[in-house]
Structures are given as C-alpha cells and as structure tokens.
Amino acid sequence: MKRVHLGVSLFFSVVLALATSGCAGAESGGARAPSSGAVPAAASPPPPPPSPDVAAGPGGGALALAMNDPAKAKSVSDSPHSAAMLIYTANLSLAVFQVESGLEAVERVAREVGGYLSSRQDNAITIRVPRDRFDDTIARIEKLGDVTHRDIKAQDVTDEFVDLQARLKNAYSIRDRLNDLLAKAAVKEALEIEKELGRVTEDIERMEGKLKLFRDQIAFSTVTVTFAPVAVEQVQDATILAPFPWMRGLGLQSLLNVHQ
C-alpha cells in the first residue's frame, strides 16, 4: 500500500513537471520518460491523416506529412515562407445588375472546383473551396461583376499547430500512465487519479478538436462574396431639333427614350 501511495505522489510530481514544460516539448520532440525507472505505456496514435484530396495542391505532400508527424511539422515551421500551414480567406464585394443570378453563379463555381456552400443570405454568400483552387475561384468570381472591395488574407498557423501536436502527444502519455496507476491504486488514491484522468481526457478532446479545425481550415479556403445591385441608368428625355420636317417623322425621338 505504501509503495502505491509513493508511486502516486511521484507521478503527480511528474505530471506537474510535464505540464510546465509543454512548450519545451515541441523543441525536444516530445516528453522523456520519468527518472523513476517506470516504463511508460505506448502513446496513442495521432488523429488520422486527411484524405488525398485534402492534401492536394501546392505543397500538398508536405502538408499531409506535417499535419500528422510532429517532426515533419517542426521542419515546416523552420521555413517561414512555407505554404503548408496557411489558412486562406477572401472577402469580395461586387456590383451587379442581378443579385440573385450572382449568388447562383458563385454557388455553381464552388461546386465546379470541388467545394461546397457554407452559407447564403439575401445578398451575400460564403463558400469553401480546396486550397489549390483558391486563386482560380477568386478569378472566376471577379468576372461576375464590378469589384468594389477585395480583402484576401493568409494566416500562418504553423507554430501553433506544431505546439498543439507536441502537447497532445504528452497528454496521451500522461493518460496512459494514469490508467496504469489506476489499475494498481487503492480506493483513496483511485479517486484522486480518476479526477486527474478526467481533466487530462478533457484536454485531449479539446486539443484534438482544435487540430481537426486547423486541418479543415488549411485544406479548404473560405470565400465570402457580397453583392450590391446596380440601378439601371436611363437616358434623359430630350427634344430633337431636326433641320428638316421630314426627319421628325423617322421616329428618332422614340429611340432616345428607350431604357438602357
């Protein structure tokens, strides 16, 4: 019983040390085994890689590897101009004669490039398109009307992605060690271990969700288009001063009154 209690106390000391060195783990490639001599259980595997379509495009191969291998992700973070961990977003404003036709055209472009509709309002639409078709999508949408506003951004999330992967790997190791201790602990120690295990599990689920969101945002760019209607210009009514009376019978006045 004393050995189990000492093991629990020693383990919580290790947990505290690992928690304060989460960021340092990103540089060293993961947490080291505790000095107590205990053999840690194998870490749970990282989330599954994205599909080939998700990893396609410029730097697609590097993206697929970096998203699921902390070592590859670290090498990507050493390249400031790498496109592997960039999230692209665009906000466009267009002036058109028919807003409804513009909305339908944007939705059709999204389907043709392999994307999908995210949301649609009366005069605005948001679509998600594969990253490698982002530039092509923007060029096609801008042909639908007169561009009055253009805002295109690329957010680099490489450092945050790598750090999150390292912290998740450490959390997997801590969870496995807690499960091993729980199987050997007495009732009193088991309650403390279960409480800590619940906290670690919540952290794991939160980090897994964040990584999943990053993968989705990197693989599919977001394009939002807002349309503004253009009023039909009308030719002002005017009186023709024809030099000869017979010219007034040709109907020139009616031609000027036609709405453009």
Q: What confidence tier does 247 reach under pLDDT thresholds 50, 70, 90?
A: low
Burial of 58 (0-12, 13-18, 19+ CB in 10 A): middle
Quick one: average pLDDT of 217-246?
74
- In this predicted structure, what is the pLDDT of residue 188? 84
Q: Is the pLDDT of residue 118 over 60?
A: yes
**Looking at residue 235, what DSSP letter applies?**
P
Q: Give bridge partners of residue 211 from the DSSP assignment.
A: none
Q: What confidence tier does 185 reach under pLDDT thresholds 50, 70, 90?
A: confident
Q: Is the pLDDT of residue 194 over 90?
A: yes
40, two tokens: 């840690």
- In this predicted structure, what is the pLDDT of residue 231? 76
**Which of 151, 178, 150, 142 lies closest to 38 in space, CA to CA?**
178
- In this predicted structure, what is the pLDDT of residue 145? 94
**Which of 223, 55, 77 lies closest to 132 in space, CA to CA?**
55
- Which of the two residues, 28 and 73, has the higher pLDDT score? 73
Provide CATH code, domain 86-156+221-229: 3.30.70
Exposure letters 139-175 (e unless 16+ CB within 10 A, then b): ebbeebbeeeeeeeeeebebeebbbbbbbbbbbbbbb
Quick one: average pLDDT of 78-103?
83
For residue 54, give every residue at least 6 positions away whose Cβ sits within 8 Å of its Cβ, in sequence order, or none.
64, 130, 215, 219, 220
Quick one: average pLDDT of 4-32?
47
- Residue 121, sorted as left (phi over 0), alpha (psi -120 to 50) or beta, turns out to be beta
- In this predicted structure, what is the pLDDT of residue 80? 45
Q: What are the structural domain ranges in the chain? A: 2-78+158-218, 86-156+221-229
Q: Is the pLDDT of residue 54 over 50?
A: no
**Which of 51, 36, 15, 26 lies closest to 171 in space, CA to CA?**
15
Tally Cβ neighbours within 10 Å of residue 235.
Answer: 11
Cα–Cα distance for residue pair 243/251, rounded to 1 Å: 14
**Looking at residue 244, what DSSP letter applies?**
S
Q: What confidence tier does 243 reach under pLDDT thresholds 50, 70, 90?
A: low
Q: Is the pLDDT of residue 246 over 80?
A: no
pLDDT in tens, 3-13: 445 455 555 55
**Which of 246, 227, 258 lies closest to 146 in space, CA to CA?**
227
Spatial contact of 50 and 179, defined as CB atoms under 8 Å apart? no
Quick one: average pLDDT of 178-201?
91
Pairing assessment for the beta strands 146-156 and 116-120 based on DSSP bridges: unpaired
pLDDT in tens, 125-145: 999 999 999 999 999 999 999
Q: Is the pLDDT of residue 23 over 60?
A: no
User: Strand (E) positions, the chain?
Assistant: 86-96, 116-120, 124-130, 146-156, 220-229
Q: What confidence tier does 254 reach under pLDDT thresholds 50, 70, 90?
A: low
Spatial contact of 60 and 132, defined as CB atoms under 8 Å apart? yes
